[in-house]
Amino acid sequence: MKYQVKKDLGVTLRHDGAMFRVWAPFAKSIRLVTASYNNEGAPLDNEGAGYWSVFVSSAEAGFSYQYLIETETGVVRRNDPRARVLTAAEGGMSVVAAHDFDWGDDLFMPVPKEQQVYYELHVGTFNRPDASTPGTFETAIEKLDYLADLGVNMVELMPVTTMATDHGWGYSTSHIFSVEPTYGGRHGLMRFVRAAHERGIGVIADIVYNHFSSTDLWQFDGWSENERGGIYFYNDERGDTPWGARPDYGRPEVRQFFLDNVAMWLGEYRLDGLRLDSTIYMRNSLGQNDDPAHDIADAWRLLGDMTTLAHRINPGAMIIAEDCSVNPYLTKPVRDGGCGFDAQWGLNFPHSMRALSGLSTPFPVDFTQELAANYNGDCFQKIIFADSHDTAANGQVRLNEAVTPGNGESAKARQHTLVTSAATLTAPGVPMLAQGEEFMQDGDFSDWKELEWSKTEQFNGIVLAHQHLIDLRCDAYSNTAGLTGRGVNLFHVDHENNVYAYHRWHAGGPRDDVYVILNFGGENFKEYTFSVPVPGAWTVRFNSSWSGYKSDSSESFVLVAETDPNQTITVPLTAYNALILSQD
């Protein structure tokens, strides 16, 4: 990869003013306008090769501006494509950003990938209890202590870049260099990252590079072909996606635009990684996996350049692809012809959870195959989850709501939540919880449906169960190291009763080997017997039917189960039950 900043595009603040530089190769002339300049403005100098610039001595942080670009067909008003701040999502102006944020002594490093536990968070719904206004970075900061107590050590923010509308999921992005002002803008995100780091939590941001919605980039300098998007976009059928226009990943200046954006997030905001939305729609014009006729080679190369740059800036950064496929080349190293992502969303895992729970799913997946599925022989190249914003929306609902429609808080829904969370937090991979999953948030996911924080008290036992599961996942008690390892053996499959058991290990041996027993069926067993691969005495570390987790159960922990001469173990197993065992 040859990453060289040929031009300081955007705004460069100096002690005596600011330099403004923009790329607009088909412009006839450009003027910088502000409220004081009106439509006369300051003319930009043509530097050649499509670059224009002007120095404004009166400009400082907070200075608002736009570009008036003279084209062949008239004058258009545009915001700076690299503006760090916009005054509003619609009809606003670009603002010169200060670079004076106080990070204190922040030298945060996330825990190793095999110990990471993610929490998917939508800032706009992370509100104060009983609040009538959408969530912001400040209200999300107020919940960071709760997340730290839960055991979460990585937060994945749904997109926070400036949106085409005042609110939404964030995937209709319009400006990738600025942060949504209704959430708290640039400094709001910086305060959130700093506060998360102070609590030992890393921050990853979901970024959309596969399309742009309503945006100043469209026909930016007046030029286009085939009535399409102009200099930032493909001007043929490659420019089409279901959500908006696809950028031109082959044009050097556009590639630089995206690489500069990656550098900004990891540098200026000190993010601990990025999750790239729908990379399959970057690398294939039809969003298909095995479809070489429609592959976009430009995008494959750019994705590799992005991960290479990201790891050059921050070697520990987690760069994640959401690709809707099981293509190992996403996480294969760039030197081996891959894109070099650290992980990709394992989109089959939530469908396997729904299938085991007896729910309809558009992609039925066999859990017995999904459990050991990985990319390039490494389970930690896969992010696994039982629910997400995608599985709980678009005509779907959260898993607990799907179990008992109209009553997502039922005893059966609580039981299913714990058994699927146990599967997520013990299966090979990097686990992620969807916000509210741990306190029985019901219904579907939407950008306007705030979290019901009162449920953390109502279902404090379910929250406690998730705390215990995360502690075990991270080997907090030094007796479940196997859950941080790569070893897995599905040694018991009972399709008739929907019971499964698997062995997890890191190095193996006492305090390392772990057995996980999952009963997705509705039968109660006073005695359930199965053969095990490792003999000895096994202590129950987690029982999802324990009375301390939900008020409608009187089940107590089985303390020790010992193998008999036939190397079998017998345990009581209630309906919709998860057990985790390890050896002292």
Start-to-end CA span in the chain (Å):
50
Architecture of the domain made up of 113-473: Alpha-Beta Barrel (3.20)
Report residue 290's pLDDT band, with 50, 70 and 90 as the boundaries.
Answer: confident
Q: How far is CA 540 from CA 480, 517, 535, 561, in A?
A: 11, 11, 15, 8
d(CA 101, CA 14): 17
d(CA 584, CA 513): 10
10-95 has which CATH code?
Answer: 2.60.40.10
In this chain, the answer to whether the domains covering 10-95 and 113-473 adopt an identical fold is no
Tokens representing residue 62 in the block: 């907070």
Q: What mean pLDDT is predicted for residues 515-540?
A: 96
Would you say 92 and 79 are in contact if contact means Cβ atoms under 8 Å apart? yes
Q: Is the domain covering 481-582 a CATH 2.60.40.1180 domain?
A: yes
Per residue in 422-462, pLDDT tens?
A: 999 999 999 999 999 999 999 999 888 889 999 999 999 99
Residue 413 has pLDDT above 80, yes or no: yes
**What pLDDT, on the 0 to 100 scale, is given for residue 166?**
65
CA-wise closest residue to 378 among 418, 338, 324, 350: 338
**What pLDDT, on the 0 to 100 scale, is given for residue 200?**
97
Q: How far is CA 318 from CA 146, 207, 271, 331, 338, in A?
A: 23, 13, 10, 11, 16
For 12, phi then psi, to 5°, come to -115, 110
Dihedral of the alpha carbons of 310, 315, 318, 320, in degrees to the nearest 10: 40
DSSP three-state, residue 380: helix
For the whole model, what pTM was predicted? 0.96
d(CA 471, CA 145): 16
Per residue in 213-266, pLDDT tens?
A: 877 899 999 999 999 999 999 999 999 999 999 999 999 999 999 999 999 999
CA-wise closest residue to 157 among 125, 130, 134, 115: 125
d(CA 244, CA 236): 14
d(CA 445, CA 392): 5
Beta bridge pairs of residue 384: 431
Region at 474 (left for phi over 0; alpha for psi -120 to 50; beta for the rest): alpha
Per residue in 478-495, pLDDT tens?
A: 999 999 999 999 999 999
Tokens representing residue 41 in the block: 């403005």
Per residue in 43-62, pLDDT tens?
A: 999 999 999 999 999 899 99
Domain ranges of the chain: 10-95, 113-473, 481-582
d(CA 319, CA 334): 13
Beta bridge pairs of residue 13: 18
